[in-house]
Amino acid sequence: MVNKMVNKLQKKLTDRQEKVLSAIRKFVLENGYSPTVRQLGEALDIVNPSAVFKHILSLEKKGYLERARGEMRLAGFPDPVESQVRVPLVGLVPAGRPKEVFDVSDEAMEIPEWMVGRRKGNVFCIHVDGKSMVDAYIDDGDWVLVERTNSANSGEMVVTLLDDGSVTLKRLKMKDGDISLVPENPEFEPIKVKELKILGRVIGILRKY
């Protein structure tokens, strides 16, 4: 069955409709799903949800998107799982006791583009070795997507370089000047650090069953 959007004649957009369509595309690329009316309004600085919805209806009538089951689907926009990007693989990073294993290889992994979004070129993939993060649904053997950054917020999962040169994957906790790298497994102890050297923060998990 041919998708009905393909057969719709796309009419010329006004400048305002172009901005709305661009905002929807940007949101989908960065998040992997379509925005709600309220989220789209925030992106466009439009307070009235009815005004946002009118723009959505106009784009639908002109064949640029369709609505189904409460979500917007962009015409001609590839299904996220069909669009892939290559992400470099980096040596084993323990989710357990720190190890000195953070080597860049020549290998890469195909990742759904929606998981990377506009971070493309700034993301790498690590193979987890250890079980200290199992309560955060990161298990031994999982592949974890990491965004390169030297900063993160308290509560985020990060890959960090310790003073002894070892690397570990833990949840960052900062309170009253104290910095801890906290495991998500009661069998492991938190690691307290004086200086935080962040290599990246976790943005996604890949697993084969």
Q: For residue 64, give the H/E element and its range.
A: none
Radius of gyration of the chain measured on its C-alpha atoms: 21
Sheet holding 191-193, edge to edge: 104-112, 84-94, 123-129, 143-148, 198-206, 157-161, 167-175, 178-182, 191-193
In the set 34, 62, 131, 170, the catalytic residue is 170
- Confirm whether 105 is a catalytic residue: no
Helices marked H in 32-107: 37-44, 49-61
Catalytic residue flag (residue 166): no
Indicate the residue type of 187. Answer: E
Give me the helix-helix angle, 15-31 and 37-44, nearest 10°. Answer: 120
Contact by Cβ (8 Å): 65, 24: yes
Catalytic residue among 34, 62, 131, 132: 132
**CA neighbor of 96 nearest in space, from 194, 170, 17:** 170
Catalytic residue numbers read: 132, 170
